[in-house]
Structure 1
Amino acid sequence: MRLILGVLVGLFLISCAEKEKVKVTMKEDVAALADDALNGRQTGTEGELKAAAYIEKRFKEIGLQPKGVSGLYTQTFTFKPSTNPHEQAEYTGSRSDSTLTGTNVIGYLDNQGENTIVIGAHYDHLGMGGEGSLYREGAAIHNGADDNASGVSVMLQIAEELSEKKSNNNYLFIAFSGEEMGLLGSNYFVKNPTIDTKKVPYMINLDMVGRLNQENTLAVHGVGTSPVFKQTLFANNDQGFTIAEHESGIGPSDHTSFYLADIPVLFFFTGQHEDYHKPSDDSEKLNYEGMEKIKKYLLNIIEDLDDKGRLTFIKTKNETEDVPAFKVALGVVPDYLYTGKGMRIDGVSEDKPAQKAGLKKGDIVMKLGELDTLDMMSYMKALATFEEGQTTIVTVKRGKEMVEVEVTF
């Protein structure tokens, strides 16, 4: 009897150890994916394959089934990179010295439901820099902690939570490759799906969710792609977010591929920052408490939509079509999450008109010349009216004061 009791205690301790072993935190996931050893996870490199292996391991620990190709967690695609930034890369079925191979990692939570929700985040980044990098001092590892280890880590935590709950829906979790090269992995998946995409009620995309600001502002794109989204977003906002909502389903991330396949989409984003596409986008700079809040918010939304079945899809206006052409630049990074009146400056570029005129981060541009800049769109339309060499007065709100500066473009 004592021997049997000892064996049972031993099995219990082993079982507890195994359960503890899989409880990985968001911070640990980000640290693993943004490690220097992965050399920036550029598509088609050994570093990206190491990241893919890590994500596959996490999917297995969570208990997700493989839903890639041929019973694997992976779906690979071979392509010839474009040398023209205005042209799409070309998919090809054969590999050669001029091609690269991307790897989507796909896990499935089967609840025996009729419909399957897709939750995705891209895990590739810029490698050592090059095309797309905003770093001008040579090759360096671009770890992409916010872009987009943050999205992958939140996705993994959501997968873990959903695996422990009953649901009317199945869930497909996809870590996309090739996003930085033109949404390649999501585009390939939509055209070569491993599930019936006609039974996908909606898709959630998490890209750069690691820098929630002090104002608690969360940008949500795709709000107009289904009539239920707006009410759902605001009814479940128990985390006190300031929601910067955008109607369009088109944008520079993987949700666009699903929107173009007539699937309602929601894209969550905490905004650009001075480390965007630079080697300084490292794991210690992320707001992990903010990521936890976003995870809880998304779980609320998913639960609220659980019994809604297939959602009505609505085509939205492409907001980028309204952006006017510019002949000049002020030389600032706009704060895209700012929801107040005016255009708030989030960063000032070196040796550009704004810096020379003394404009600062945090200034809110209220007027360009005689033209009011009530929001981002009116700011862009006003800027488009100026020619190189022109001088004008820019009115900004700095703290509680209104300040006028002279700017020469």
Structure 2
Amino acid sequence: MRIILMLFLAIMVFSCKETKVKSISMKEDVAILANDSLNGRKTGSEGEKKAAKYIAKRFEDLGLQAKGTNGYFQKFSYKASKNPHQEAEFTSDKNDSTETGENVIAYLDNKAENTVVIGAHYDHLGMGGEGSLYREGEAIHNGADDNASGVAMMLHLADSLQQKGSPKKNNYLFIAFSGEEEGLLGSNYFVKNPTIDTKKVSYMLNMDMVGRLNSENTLAVYGVGTSPILKQAVNANAGQLKISENESGVGPSDHTSFYLADIPVLHFFTGQHEDYHKPSDDTEKVNFAGMEIVSNYIFNIIKDLDSQPKLPFRKTKNESEAVPDFKVTLGVVPDYLFSGKGMRIDGISEDRPAQKAGLQKGDIVVKMGDFEVTDMMSYMKSLSKFEKGQTVTVTIDRSGDLKEVEVTF
């Protein structure tokens, strides 16, 4: 039944120019964007172009104005990078070494003085390659959580912000960013080539991986220190959510581009998991009830801030500048929502040191060699002390019992 529904929706979107798509749920949006037919939405690929057309059609059906440079689209050319989340290298030269991505941009004009930007990246890793944690060859990386979930939530908010009783004291610019996995390309390009007056932007909201709300209802919110009023709004509207807050406006997602342009930001994130950057990040693993909770929470923040004038910007400590260089990795996915002592493991990469040493999901690393591990920063500082080929004793807390294991990097 679900396959029939997806095919029906796809036919409506891609073929039927006159038919209006109505009342599409976040689940249906995720299912289409994370469908195998889009081949993982790699930046510049045919699959990503299909996804862009789908998002543009959704914007059109929602009655939003086109705000790109060519209708809903804003194209950009760049030199492909092998280092994810590095500074963008744009170019106007078209040759064999350049790629083309395109942001999809729409506008809700409430005739207000200021505008709120609501964004989510829609690209992913395609068939794998650089950035993938899958070690068994090429496979479609559908990216249901990363980041079909964020795009679906953005579209849901676009619909909600047009309903009766919704906040009207700001305009809203909705952007589906391309090239995030290649180094925040789309958001970087937009900030440098905006299609609205960015001096009138009050703040920016970014949804990246919001589809795996855990059983503890823990939601990470980054950027709470980028304006004096944000911390209060974030916590006052938490409801049933447990908020794990972070002051910094810098992180590995598109809000960083706006923060660096002196715009207050909030980034919402339900946490990494064992399917991160793997082919197994599929629609059936998304927590759609959790997505409703997160979407309602973000909507309440927007309502709370609606009566405020343009938010003042405040610089925060750039925590990424303090991250040490290290030559080795443990081969785990950290639990970024964990607030206890140590570094809790949320996933194990195949054929890497942690797996070979017998570490498991849920283990909490509390010591590496002679170095105590109390949080993510101390964990990374510990890693920076080791060399490839070195064997060290790692102490873990496994269900309350301390164990020592030998790890060879």
| TM-score computed with the length of structure 2 as normaliser | 0.89
Residue 256 of structure 1 corresponds to 256
The count of aligned residue pairs is: 390
SS at match of 1:180: coil
2:233 aligned partner, one-letter code: T
* Bigger Cα displacement from structure 2, 20-29 vs 205-214: 20-29
SS at match of 2:125: coil
Is the Cα–Cα contact under 8 Å of residues 344 and 362 in structure 2 kept in the other structure?
yes
Is the Cα–Cα contact under 8 Å of residues 167 and 302 in structure 2 kept in the other structure?
no
Residue 229 of structure 1 corresponds to 230
1:63 aligned partner, one-letter code: G
Distance between the aligned counterparts of 1:20 and 1:289, measured in 2?
26
Is the Cα–Cα contact under 8 Å of residues 77 and 102 in structure 1 kept in the other structure?
yes
Residue 110 of structure 2 corresponds to 111
CA 1:89–1:374: 2 relative to 1, 3 Å: closer
Is the Cα–Cα contact under 8 Å of residues 208 and 271 in structure 1 kept in the other structure?
yes
Distance between the aligned counterparts of 2:198 and 2:277, measured in 1?
32
Distance between the aligned counterparts of 1:354 and 1:318, measured in 2?
29
Is the Cα–Cα contact under 8 Å of residues 128 and 142 in structure 1 kept in the other structure?
yes
1:157 aligned partner, one-letter code: H
Is the Cα–Cα contact under 8 Å of residues 81 and 89 in structure 1 kept in the other structure?
no
Q: How does 1:357-372 map to 2 (within 5 A)?
A: 357-372=357-372
The percent of aligned pairs where both chains have the same amino acid is 69
Distance between the aligned counterparts of 1:273 and 1:393, measured in 2?
25
Is the Cα–Cα contact under 8 Å of residues 74 and 105 in structure 1 kept in the other structure?
yes
Residue 157 of structure 1 corresponds to 156
Residue 381 of structure 1 corresponds to 381
Distance between the aligned counterparts of 1:374 and 1:84, measured in 2?
29
Distance between the aligned counterparts of 1:60 and 1:87, measured in 2?
33
Residue 120 of structure 2 corresponds to 121
Residue 332 of structure 1 corresponds to 332
Distance between the aligned counterparts of 2:334 and 2:312, measured in 1?
34
SS at match of 1:317: coil
Is the Cα–Cα contact under 8 Å of residues 236 and 301 in structure 1 kept in the other structure?
yes
Residue 296 (1) aligns with residue 296 (2): yes
Distance between the aligned counterparts of 1:268 and 1:83, measured in 2?
26
CA 1:76–1:354: 2 relative to 1, 3 Å: closer
CA 1:367–1:54: 2 relative to 1, 3 Å: same
Is the Cα–Cα contact under 8 Å of residues 353 and 407 in structure 1 kept in the other structure?
yes
Residue 90 of structure 1 corresponds to 89
* Bigger Cα displacement from structure 2, 193-202 vs 82-91: 82-91
Residue 7 of structure 2 corresponds to none
Residue 78 (1) aligns with residue 81 (2): no
2:222 aligned partner, one-letter code: H
Residue 202 of structure 1 corresponds to 203
Is the Cα–Cα contact under 8 Å of residues 63 and 163 in structure 1 kept in the other structure?
no
Q: How does 1:395-406 map to 2 (within 5 A)?
A: 395-406=395-406
Distance between the aligned counterparts of 2:301 and 2:19, measured in 1?
27
| TM-score computed with the length of structure 1 as normaliser | 0.89
* Bigger Cα displacement from structure 2, 366-375 vs 107-116: 366-375
CA 1:142–1:186: 2 relative to 1, 3 Å: same
Residue 185 of structure 2 corresponds to 184
* Bigger Cα displacement from structure 2, 329-338 vs 117-126: 329-338
Distance between the aligned counterparts of 2:235 and 2:321, measured in 1?
27
Larger radius of gyration: 1
Is the Cα–Cα contact under 8 Å of residues 221 and 268 in structure 1 kept in the other structure?
yes
CA 1:221–1:408: 2 relative to 1, 3 Å: same
2:181 aligned partner, one-letter code: E
Tell me, which stretches of 5 or more residues in structure 2 are unaligned? 1-17
Q: Post-superposition shift, 1:100?
A: 2.2
Is the Cα–Cα contact under 8 Å of residues 255 and 267 in structure 1 kept in the other structure?
yes
SS at match of 1:178: coil
Is the Cα–Cα contact under 8 Å of residues 122 and 151 in structure 2 kept in the other structure?
yes
2:401 aligned partner, one-letter code: E
Q: Post-superposition shift, 1:133?
A: 1.9
Residue 319 of structure 2 corresponds to 319
Q: Post-superposition shift, 1:389?
A: 5.3
Q: Post-superposition shift, 1:20?
A: 9.7
